């Protein structure tokens, strides 16, 4: 094991205090023992609600000031801002520096309270001389006070391999580094200041950073700290998405002790949970309150130092030379001491007490007239700002350093929007006003096309989305924005608008599908799979109304997908909607040229002065999806099936976006004739059809497969019926599976794919399927498979985002890993964790894989789709199931019907209706097992005592009017050959009686039955 002896010798030779050497030895021992410094998510819990400083109900006691010392950390040079002196000597307002305002705060407080409140600085070797000279010149009375300064220690950098002291012959000063502000405690001991303060009667210390002018001695908080008798108290703020990359407060599970977890203490696999601001809600402001007598007890207990968690940073010995010796720098954080104090507490303070200056952006904002200095010498937001600080974002390359014009302009109003250098990248701000009804549903915002084409309708929603995405912490200037859609009417025009608005909102790179075409699962694939890493997509706009009709008089839609490839979660869509209700303006680059999206290639547009550029890359629509699917399935086995003379298939893309994907896979990859792909040319109105893959709307395919719209066999004369048929919807995420004169329900399809998962390499190579999920209205067929094969099973609301959470349980949330994973909805959506959307062509390839596995011997008769389904029913029983859609009904009546059933759930529970007894009537509520979010009003359920079910939902995906969906399910373990209508007739009668839809909506005849 590496020895501390050479490190100790080097520190002693430098004159470092014994307390600092002991503290560093503790940190070193942690390093060499194999401690990574990581705090796993599994070892902590979120902090419960904290006391708010604004709700404290105590009488402030000025007597406590006699026992209190204020200490400012003043060791930073501000090297990140190009400084070679104390950052606190930067001018903030007029001629006042940070230290000016701090000194004035102290003197004003002394005058107001009539007490000589003790004031101290912890300087570093680098800041001491300039700081003391400053006080001697401007505040001599403070300079002359006993014990004004104590000096921060320094520690050796260590060789990254041997952990011996690093060397730097070119500049020996590079061999040392600051030990972090956790050195506060060692410095207090080594300087003798802790003992001196205690002997002088001081009991309380308030510590904060010198660049945080909002952190002043608050008498009310001091009194609260004293009366609670806590040994240590941390001031915290509520985390927002902008704070998600910073440290947070937590509770250690082993002893319920408050601890601090910094970003360097978080493993990659826990990053999702670390950044979840709804889970870990509080961050450390570095404003600390310390009982000095309790600090002394802990230091004595550990032999002269306080043991703090290690923070390990990998660097080079010469920070300006990446090829120099690799080193580790060991630091500690002073806030981490919270875990050393039994009974430590925390308090939530307003953001006004946390206003540090870390970048030139912060400094310029503080110097501007957006902030005023009040009578207590505390910066306050100018009332003219309306409670919201302006956002300043300087070019980090040009204005990173203070001397690069930052603050050189004085008493001037700047308007840079007309600078000629911006040219086509010049953003315009257009006034607008809220438009009602822009709340996204489960799959985005859908309205009539002409509504979207109306003035500012699309622009308002896109701006609201950009504002919400940026507020969530996403930096849209990094990575790529994907844009594409299903090719419906207005698709190409909308893409040009989004590009121009994206540039005005800071996006630097776009990936656009050729001709504007990208399927919904294709977009998810591109987000997750396309590189290089530095161009990885941060999100996407998908222009689709899915299975809804297209055209100038039909439907259009838009949805946003996040960096995991999945739909925006409820929190983000709620923020988008909230923004639409208050929007006053949107940003757009009006002079940016329209991009030719018909040809693959890069288009780079540069500002006139060459200072910045934007790249719009038109990409191959299908390439990434085909590449991924070839890693999931055994294309060789599927081709062997397709090449059998007794096997034929047809794939109907219904003139939606999946036509190019079908050709790329079945013709180009699997060598089939183009006749396999029907209706494969995308059209902006889906050729006048309704691109919804069900028995009612996929008329051409259903007839080809020898069925009618109810799934009954029809006489096809002498026509040869294909062995296998499949259809896709407009945006390619749904599927319908058919055999020769045989319809496979989506619920049965999901169950069978789960049962056969091991024939698909993606699942088998990962040790087999682990988890399955279905939407609540989907039949329980997959439940039986999950129980038999011991899969984790979930019942979720309708909406693929709920499945996405389960897929990302470990990667983003630090929870259990449920992948490999299969999920599906009764609305013809099936998929797996290869993407974060349902995937129509994936389901088709899964079925072909199942058929291939049952037909390995070409000499034997073909095992058909019907054979596989009947075999499944024989083993597991049959869930007779159907869905009735009542489309285009009046929303008022539909809502009234749902409200009536919701109000009667208690009364209906236990009620006998026909031959059924309602065991439970409820309104389905889902508590997400991954992030704890709650989704209410997800459907009215009538659960019968024999296991039958009736479910009612209002669809959130209709472009106009309302769609009432009624789901009927009856399980039969043995009687598997009844006609569906006969098996469900009694239950349908009961359902119509319970909902009274004829009275509320004027009909009890469905428009679609599936």
In angstroms, the CA 481 to CA 83 distance is 36
Nearest to 60 by CA among 101, 115, 104: 115
Nearest to 42 by CA among 814, 795, 738, 661: 814
CB proximity list for 388: less than 8 A, separation 6 or greater = none
Which tokens in the block code for residue 148?
């004004």
Lowest average pLDDT, out of 179-188, 719-728, 834-843, 955-964, goes to 955-964
Nearest to 53 by CA among 203, 250, 225, 214: 225
Find the mean pLDDT for residues 33-54.
88
259 CB neighbour count, 10 Å cutoff:
22
CB proximity list for 499: less than 8 A, separation 6 or greater = 483, 510, 512, 592, 595, 616
In angstroms, the CA 498 to CA 602 distance is 17
Report the sign of the C-alpha dihedral through residues 214, 219, 223, 224, in that order.
Answer: negative
Q: Are 194 and 203 in contact (CB under 8 A)?
A: no
Residue 78 pLDDT = 58
Q: In the beta sheet, which residues pair with residue 434? A: none
Find the mean pLDDT for residues 931-935.
84
Tell me 716's DSSP state. -
- Per cent of the chain over pLDDT 90 is 71
Tell me 812's DSSP state. T
Task: Give tens-digit pLDDT for 201-223.
Answer: 999 999 999 988 889 999 999 99
Q: Are 625 and 521 in contact (CB under 8 A)?
A: yes
- β pairing state of 771-775 and 792-796: parallel
Give the angle 298-299-302 at the CA atoms, nearest 5°.
Answer: 85
Q: Which of 208, 480, 546, 749 is catalytic?
A: 546
Which tokens in the block code for residue 797?
């609301």
Cα first-last separation, the chain: 70
Give the angle 402-403-404 at the CA atoms, nearest 5°.
Answer: 90
How far, in Å, are 14, 188, 190, 247, 721 from residue 18 at the CA level? 11, 12, 7, 30, 89
In angstroms, the CA 974 to CA 960 distance is 43
Find the mean pLDDT for residues 63-84.
79
Please report the beta strands in 589-670, taking only residues with DSSP state E, as ranges in sequence order: 601-606, 613-619, 649-652
- β pairing state of 509-517 and 735-739: unpaired
Q: Are 974 and 872 in contact (CB under 8 A)?
A: no
Residue 576 pLDDT = 95
For helices 980-995 and 891-903, give the axis angle rounded to 10 degrees: 90
Find the mean pLDDT for residues 784-800.
94
CB proximity list for 926: less than 8 A, separation 6 or greater = 776, 795, 796, 797, 802, 934, 935, 938
Which tokens in the block code for residue 762?
């993606």
Residue 405 pLDDT = 47
Q: Are 344 and 232 in contact (CB under 8 A)?
A: yes
Residue 7 pLDDT = 95
Nearest to 510 by CA among 525, 499, 497, 495: 499
Give the angle 613-619-620 at the CA atoms, nearest 5°.
Answer: 170
Give the angle 196-197-201 at the CA atoms, nearest 5°.
Answer: 115
Output the average pLDDT for the chain: 91
Find the mean pLDDT for residues 27-51.
87
Nearest to 852 by CA among 632, 635, 625, 627: 635
Which tokens in the block code for residue 382?
């100018």
Which tokens in the block code for residue 833?
């964790």
Tell me 205's DSSP state. E
Q: Are 550 and 730 in contact (CB under 8 A)?
A: yes
In angstroms, the CA 806 to CA 773 distance is 9
Residue 688 CB-density burial (10 A; 0-12 exposed, 13-18 middle, 19+ buried): exposed
Q: Does residue 159 register a pLDDT over 60? A: yes
pTM (2 d.p.) = 0.65
Tell me 576's DSSP state. H
Q: Does residue 761 register a pLDDT over 80? A: yes
How far, in Å, are 49, 508, 591, 683, 734 from residue 599 at the CA level? 55, 20, 22, 18, 28
Q: Are 728 and 656 in contact (CB under 8 A)?
A: yes
Q: Does residue 643 register a pLDDT over 50? A: yes
Q: Are 548 and 565 in contact (CB under 8 A)?
A: no
- For 737, phi and psi rounded to 5 degrees? -115, 130
Q: Does residue 407 register a pLDDT over 60? A: no
**Confidence bin at 404 (pLDDT 50/70/90):** very low
Residue 607 pLDDT = 87
Task: Give tens-digit pLDDT for 693-718.
Answer: 999 999 999 999 999 998 999 999 98
Active site residue 775: no
Nearest to 556 by CA among 467, 502, 621, 492: 492
Lowest average pLDDT, out of 155-169, 248-262, 353-367, 637-651, goes to 353-367
**CA 169 centroid distance within chain:** 46
The number of C-alpha atoms within 13 Å of 853 and in the hemisphere containing its C-beta is 17
Task: Give tens-digit pLDDT for 421-469.
Answer: 678 998 999 999 999 999 997 679 999 999 999 999 999 999 999 999 9
Task: Give tens-digit pLDDT for 675-684.
Answer: 999 999 999 9
The label of the residue with tokens 């009736």 reads: 950
CB proximity list for 780: less than 8 A, separation 6 or greater = 774, 879, 947, 949, 969, 971
Residue 718 pLDDT = 87
The label of the residue with tokens 């700002």 reads: 385
Coil, strand, or helix at residue 858?
A: coil
Nearest to 124 by CA among 97, 88, 158: 88
In angstroms, the CA 762 to CA 819 distance is 11
Coil, strand, or helix at residue 808?
A: coil
Residue 834 pLDDT = 96
In angstroms, the CA 737 to CA 798 distance is 21
In angstroms, the CA 329 to CA 306 distance is 19
CB proximity list for 242: less than 8 A, separation 6 or greater = 471, 473
Task: Give tens-digit pLDDT for 683-694.
Answer: 999 999 999 999
Helix (H) or strand (E) holding 847: helix 840-854
Task: Give tens-digit pLDDT for 654-677.
Answer: 999 999 999 999 999 999 999 999
Please give the residue that has the higher pLDDT: either 368 or 989: 989
Residue 396 pLDDT = 59
Task: Give alpha helix (H) positions in 16-161.
Answer: 18-32, 98-113, 128-138, 140-143
**CA 871 centroid distance within chain:** 42
| Alpha-carbon torsion, ordered 60, 63, 64, 68, to 10 deg | 130
Residue 700 pLDDT = 96
In angstroms, the CA 446 to CA 958 distance is 7
In angstroms, the CA 268 to CA 141 distance is 51
Residue 269 pLDDT = 82
- Per cent of the chain over pLDDT 70 is 95
In angstroms, the CA 766 to CA 158 distance is 41
């Amino acid at each position: 094991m590496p020895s501390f002896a050479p490190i100790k010798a080097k520190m002693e030779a430098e004159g470092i205090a014994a307390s600092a050497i002991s503290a560093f030895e503790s940190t070193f021992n942690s390093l060499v023992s194999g401690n990574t410094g990581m705090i796993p998510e599994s070892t902590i819990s979120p902090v419960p609600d904290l006391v708010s400083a604004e709700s404290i109900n105590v009488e402030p006691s000025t007597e406590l000031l006699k026992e209190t010392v204020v200490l400012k950390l003043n060791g930073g040079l501000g090297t990140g801002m190009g400084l070679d002196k104390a950052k606190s000597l930067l001018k903030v307002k007029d001629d006042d520096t940070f230290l000016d305002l701090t000194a004035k705060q102290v003197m004003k407080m002394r005058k107001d309270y009539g007490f000589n409140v003790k004031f101290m600085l912890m300087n570093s070797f680098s800041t001491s001389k300039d700081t003391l000279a400053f006080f001697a010149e401007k505040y001599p009375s403070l300079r002359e006070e006993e014990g004004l300064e104590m000096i921060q220690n320094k520690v050796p950098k260590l060789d990254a391999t041997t952990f011996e002291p690093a060397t730097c012959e070119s500049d020996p000063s590079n061999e040392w580094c600051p030990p972090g502000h956790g050195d506060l405690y060692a410095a207090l001991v080594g300087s003798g200041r802790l003992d001196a303060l205690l002997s002088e009667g001081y009991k309380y210390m308030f510590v904060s950073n010198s660049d945080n002018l909002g952190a002043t001695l608050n008498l009310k908080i001091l009194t609260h700290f004293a009366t609670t008798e806590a040994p240590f108290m941390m001031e915290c703020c509520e985390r927002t998405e902008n704070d998600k990359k910073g440290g947070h407060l937590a509770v250690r599970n082993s002893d319920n002790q408050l601890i601090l977890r910094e970003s360097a203490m978080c493993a990659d696999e826990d990053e999702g949970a670390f950044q979840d601001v709804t889970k870990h809600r509080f961050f450390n402001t570095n404003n600390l309150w310390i009982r000095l007598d309790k600090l002394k007890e802990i230091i004595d207990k550990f032999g002269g130092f306080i043991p703090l968690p290690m923070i390990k940073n990998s660097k080079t010995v010469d920070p300006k030379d990446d090829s120099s010796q690799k080193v580790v720098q060991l630091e500690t954080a002073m806030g981490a001491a919270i875990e050393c104090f039994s009974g430590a507490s925390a308090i939530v303070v307003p953001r006004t007490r946390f206003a540090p200056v870390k970048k030139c952006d912060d400094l310029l904002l503080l110097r501007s007239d957006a902030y005023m200095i009040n009578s207590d010498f505390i910066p306050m937001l100018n009332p003219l700002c309306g409670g919201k600080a302006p956002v300043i974002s300087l070019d980090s390359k040009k204005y990173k350093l203070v001397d690069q014009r930052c603050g050189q302009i004085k008493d001037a109003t700047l308007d840079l929007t007309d600078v000629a250098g911006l040219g086509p990248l010049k953003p315009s701000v257009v006034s607008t006003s809220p438009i009602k009804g822009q709340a996204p549903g489960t799959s985005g915002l859908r309205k009539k096309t002409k509504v979207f084409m109306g003035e500012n309708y699309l622009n308002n929603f896109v701006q609201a989305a950009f504002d919400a995405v940026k507020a969530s912490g996403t930096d849209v200037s990094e990575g790529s924005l994907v844009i594409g859609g299903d090719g419906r009417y207005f698709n190409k025009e909308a893409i040009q608008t989004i590009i121009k608005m994206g540039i005005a909102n800071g996006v630097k790179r776009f990936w656009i599908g050729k001709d504007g075409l990208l399927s919904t699962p294709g977009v998810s694939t591109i987000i997750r799979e396309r590189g290089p890493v530095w161009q990885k997509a941060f999100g996407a706009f998908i222009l689709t109304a899915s299975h809804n009709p297209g055209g100038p008089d039909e439907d259009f839609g838009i949805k946003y997908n996040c960096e995991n490839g999945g739909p925006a979660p409820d929190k983000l869509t709620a923020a988008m909607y909230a923004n639409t209700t208050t929007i006053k303006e949107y940003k757009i680059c009006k002079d940016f040229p329209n991009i030719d999206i018909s040809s693959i290639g890069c288009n780079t547009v540069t500002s006139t002065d060459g200072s910045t550029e934007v790249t719009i890359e038109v990409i191959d629509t299908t390439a990434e999806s085909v590449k991924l699917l070839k890693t999931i399935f055994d294309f060789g086995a599927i081709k062997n099936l397709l090449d059998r003379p007794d096997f034929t298939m047809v794939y109907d893309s219904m003139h939606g976006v999946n036509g190019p994907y079908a050709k790329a896979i079945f013709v180009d990859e699997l060598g089939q004739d183009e006749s396999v792909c029907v209706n494969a040319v995308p059209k902006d109105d889906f050729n006048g059809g309704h691109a919804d893959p069900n028995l009612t709307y996929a008329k051409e395919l259903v007839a080809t497969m020898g069925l009618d719209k109810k799934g009954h066999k029809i006489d096809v004369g002498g026509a040869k019926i294909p062995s296998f048929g499949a259809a896709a919807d407009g945006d390619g995420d749904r599927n319908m599976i058919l055999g020769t004169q045989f319809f496979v329900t989506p619920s049965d399809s999901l169950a069978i794919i789960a049962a056969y998962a091991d024939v698909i390499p993606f699942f088998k190579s990962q040790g087999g399927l682990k988890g399955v999920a279905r939407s609540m209205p989907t039949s329980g067929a997959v439940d039986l498979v999950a129980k038999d094969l011991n899969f984790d099973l979930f019942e979720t609301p309708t909406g693929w985002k709920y499945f996405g959470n389960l897929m990302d349980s470990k990667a983003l949330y630090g929870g259990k890993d449920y992948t490999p994973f299969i999920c599906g909805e009764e609305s013809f959506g099936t998929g797996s964790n290869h993407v974060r959307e349902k995937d129509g062509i994936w389901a088709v390839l899964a079925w072909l894989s199942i058929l291939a596995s049952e037909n390995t011997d070409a000499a034997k008769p073909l095992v058909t789709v019907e054979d596989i389904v009947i075999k499944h029913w024989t083993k597991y029983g049959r869930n007779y199931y159907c869905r009735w859609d009542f489309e285009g009904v009046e929303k008022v009546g539909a809502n009234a019907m749902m409200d009536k059933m919701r109000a009667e759930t208690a009364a209906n529970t236990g009620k006998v209706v026909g031959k059924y007894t309602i065991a439970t009537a409820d309104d389905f509520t889902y508590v997400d097992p991954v992030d704890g979010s709650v989704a209410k009003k997800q459907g009215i359920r009538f659960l019968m005592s024999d296991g039958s079910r009736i479910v009612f939902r209002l669809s959130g995906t209709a472009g106009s009017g309302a769609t009432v969906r009624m789901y009927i399910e009856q399980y039969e373990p043995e009687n598997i050959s009844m006609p569906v209508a006969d098996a469900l007739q009694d239950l349908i009668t009961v359902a119509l009686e319970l909902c009274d839809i004829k009275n509320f909506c004027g009909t009890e005849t469905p428009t679609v039955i599936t």
